[in-house]
Structures are given as structure tokens and as C-alpha cells.
Amino acid sequence: METPPPDAPRRVHRPRVLKGATIITSFQNSEISCSLRNQHSEGAELRLAADIQIPARFLLYVPVDGIAYKAVVRWRKNDRVGVEFEGTEPKPKFHYG
């Protein structure tokens, strides 16, 4: 599957949001803080420091939603990351929030 550039027209409108979130990796359950800038049922745009490395697949826990989204990175440009959701999981037990 070819990844569209971040400025390509989207199939689904992504409403703007400003939510805190945590990227939970499988590496010793490490956590990386980020924010959601827009979101819809199929995915979201995240913002995090440009120099932070993240895996291609991870759990994205959004405390205000009370949901951990199974996320797959579809594109990255500097501090912006586009992810697609592949389902959800309950809040991780080990997460502090």
C-alpha cells in the first residue's frame, strides 16, 4: 500500500482536537507523551518531538476517551505523525493515568 503524503486530500474529515495522549510501546511498556491535533474514527494526527523515535505499531492511550487505540504509523513529517486505528483495547493496567 502506497502511503499518501500528509498534505494529500483525505477520505474522511478529521475534526480538530487538542487531547493529551500516550504512546505505549512494547519495549518494557515504555511511554511517550504526545498530543492529538485531529481525530476521527479511522485515525489521527499526533504531535511529538521530531527527534523521538516511535515504532511502526503501538497503543495510543487517550485518557479523555478512556481508550487505547491500536495505531499504525502511515506517515511522518517532522513533529507530525499520521496514524491509522486498527481497533481498541481497554485502558492498560500499568498506565499511571
* CATH number of residue 49's parent domain: 2.40.10.220
Return the higher-pLDDT residue of 63 and 81.
81
Per-residue confidence band for 11, with pLDDT thresholds at 50, 70 and 90: low
Mean pLDDT of 72-79: 96
Q: For 77-90, how does the pLDDT look when each residue is reduced to its tens digit (9 = 90+)? A: 999 999 999 999 87
Range of the domain at 28: 16-89
Measured from the Cβ of residue 79, the count of other Cβ atoms closer than 10 Å reads: 13
pLDDT number for residue 42: 93
Domain count, the chain: 1
CB-based contact 33:49 (threshold 8 Å):
no
Alpha-carbon distance of 97 to 93, in angstroms, equals 10
Mean pLDDT of 89-94: 72
Would you say residue 10 lies in a domain?
no
Would you say residue 47 lies in a domain?
yes
Q: For 33-47, how does the pLDDT look when each residue is reduced to its tens digit (9 = 90+)? A: 999 999 988 999 999
